[in-house]
Chain A
Amino acid sequence: MNDALPSLDDLVACPQCDTLHVAQDLPEGMRACCQRCGHVLMSSQKTAVARIISLALTAFVLMIAAITFPFLSLNAGGVQNATSVIDAVLAFSDGLAFPLAIAVAFFIVVLPLTRLTALIYALGPLVRERKPYRGARIAFGLAERLRPWSMAEIFIVGVTVALIKVAGMAAVTIGPAFWAFAGVVVITILKDQLICRYSIWEALDQAKA
């Protein structure tokens, strides 16, 4: 049995159900799925790393804009109130809810920025065909592990629901940060679709030598 087994580096185990597959070179634009549970094992896109980096940089810049510019403002009966993303986080900063303010800050600002920074750090040198920086693997692993906890897209849907709730009572002005944040969400989704873990681990492996 062991004689027929290819070298360990040529095997891929499905992270979801542990079925063992033999890795093969994929034609451009194809995807390989687990035979048992259908989990995507690899998807081939030649220029993926360069595109991931450019999208990550764009999202990073937009995120900074989303934090600094005015997000929404409300006007009713001559009284006005402007809100930034940071104000939304601080909404929970009174009393018992304080830990929630920290959690919300992580979900919508800190973790998305951490993921982007880690990706740029891990993959940046690959684009310029240099050796990866120290800890590139840990950074990429971290970016992937934080994926479910980075909730920018959920926040923007929440904002939409909130806008509909107040729209009847007062005039709402949408600031530039809202559009910047929406941009972050769209670009992050595009970027995450390009990430094929297998190919990136392979690329990091090859660049190390």
Chain B
Amino acid sequence: MGLVACRNCGQVHQKGVTRCKRCESVLQSRDHQSLQKVWAWLIAGIIAYIPANTYPMLLTSTLLERSESTIMGGVVDLVNYGAIGIALVVFIASVAIPVGKFLAIMYLAISVQRGSQRHQHGRHKAYDIVEFIGRWSMIDVFVVAILSALVQLDTLATINPGIAAVSFALSVIFTMLAAQSFDARLIWDVDRKTDD
């Protein structure tokens, strides 16, 4: 009916207004480039996730040996220590959540492109979950930061971050940006054809 809402503060304006009178954000009825941005960030995230898994996350050296461990290697180590619960936390944060997020964002983008009318509530819920949970993948980066700062015992034992920590962090940041670029209002637009 010719109104446009500010997504930052909720203020409703007449159509055609470009800046919110309350919080000065830019007003956009729909972000037409939303899907393009989503795909760009998502693809960048997936590409960064590959070296994150193949290169070492941690470089450990002790008196006797030097070893490198990848994300999955770290999980397996934890299982061997008997810390199943913690292994599960790391596995969920570093593998299950990122991969689940890639799939969920792809599904959301494709279903909006096809103008799907099915499961709108379910898809909106999925979007909420993706947005809420994505940042928790950062856990592993922080684990690496603390371990490398803490375990610096001269020749006895040292832990240093591997290059995978950087690509993993990038992957998380890119997918967070992908989720934020997704305009959830597009899910609902098939209900009523908006005229722009």
Chain B residues positioned under 8 Å from A138 (CB to CB): 23-24
Q: Is the CB of B150 within 8 A of A72?
A: yes
Q: Is the CB of B86 within 8 A of A158?
A: no
Query: Cα distance A197–B140 when bound, in Å?
Result: 32
Contact residue among B7, B13, B149, B187 (Cβ-Cβ distance under 8 Å from A91): B149
- Let me know if A164 is at the binding interface, CB within 8 A: yes
Which B166-185 residues have C-beta < 8 A from chain A?
Answer: 166, 169, 173, 176, 180, 184-185
- Let me know if A29 is at the binding interface, CB within 8 A: no
Contact residue among B6, B152, B160, B188 (Cβ-Cβ distance under 8 Å from A36): B188
Q: Is the CB of B8 within 8 A of A151?
A: no
Q: Is the CB of A151 within 8 A of B135?
A: yes
- Let me know if B156 is at the binding interface, CB within 8 A: yes
Query: Cα distance A164–B74 when bound, in Å?
Result: 13
Chain B residues positioned under 8 Å from A107 (CB to CB): 138
Query: Cα distance A197–B148 when bound, in Å?
Result: 40
Q: Is the CB of B153 within 8 A of A16?
A: no
- Let me know if A81 is at the binding interface, CB within 8 A: yes
Q: Which of A43-51, A56-64, A82-90, A112-120 contacts B (4 or more CB under 8 A)?
A: A82-90
Q: Which of A97-105, A125-133, A182-190 contacts B (4 or more CB under 8 A)?
A: A97-105
- Let me know if A154 is at the binding interface, CB within 8 A: yes
Which A11-64 residues have C-beta < 8 A from chain B?
Answer: 11-13, 15-20, 36-37, 39, 41
Query: Cα distance A123–B42 when bound, in Å?
Result: 37
Chain B residues positioned under 8 Å from A209 (CB to CB): none
A77-B9 CB under 8 A given contacts A88-B146, A138-B24: no
Q: Is the CB of B146 within 8 A of A83?
A: yes
Contact residue among A11, A137, A157, A205 (Cβ-Cβ distance under 8 Å from B24): A137
Q: Is the CB of B124 within 8 A of A11?
A: no
Q: Is the CB of B14 within 8 A of A8?
A: yes
Interface size on A, residues (CB 8 A): 68
Q: Is the CB of A161 within 8 A of B89?
A: yes
Main secondary structure of the interface of B (DSSP, over half): helix
- Let me know if A65 is at the binding interface, CB within 8 A: no
Q: Is the CB of B138 within 8 A of A96?
A: no
For the complex formed, measure the closest distance between the CB of B9 and the CB atoms of chain A, giving whole angstroms.
Answer: 5
Chain A residues positioned under 8 Å from B145 (CB to CB): 88-89, 91-92, 104, 158
Contact residue among A15, A19, A158, A197 (Cβ-Cβ distance under 8 Å from B141): A158
Query: Cα distance A14–B65 when bound, in Å?
Result: 58
Q: Is the CB of B131 within 8 A of A8?
A: no
Q: Is the CB of A13 within 8 A of B5?
A: yes
Chain B residues positioned under 8 Å from A145 (CB to CB): 8
Query: Cα distance A90–B140 when bound, in Å?
Result: 16
Chain B residues positioned under 8 Å from A19 (CB to CB): 188
A72-B146 CB under 8 A given contacts A1-B1, A103-B169, A103-B173: yes
For the complex formed, measure the closest distance between the CB of B55 and the CB atoms of chain A, giving whole angstroms.
Answer: 11
Chain B residues positioned under 8 Å from A149 (CB to CB): 135, 176
Which B53-100 residues have C-beta < 8 A from chain A?
Answer: 78, 81, 83, 86, 89-90
Q: Is the CB of A76 within 8 A of B148?
A: no
Besides A9-B11, A74-B151, 18 other A-B contacts (C-beta < 8 A): A5-B1, A8-B14, A12-B10, A20-B12, A36-B188, A77-B153, A77-B156, A81-B151, A97-B166, A99-B166, A107-B138, A141-B23, A144-B8, A158-B140, A158-B141, A161-B143, A165-B78, A166-B150
List 10 A–B pairs whose Cβ atoms lie within 8 Å, in order of A's numbering. Answer: A5-B1, A8-B11, A100-B141, A151-B135, A154-B136, A155-B142, A158-B141, A159-B146, A165-B86, A204-B22
Question: Nearest 9 CB-CB pairs, A to B?
Answer: A158-B142, A13-B5, A91-B148, A162-B146, A11-B12, A87-B149, A18-B185, A91-B149, A79-B153
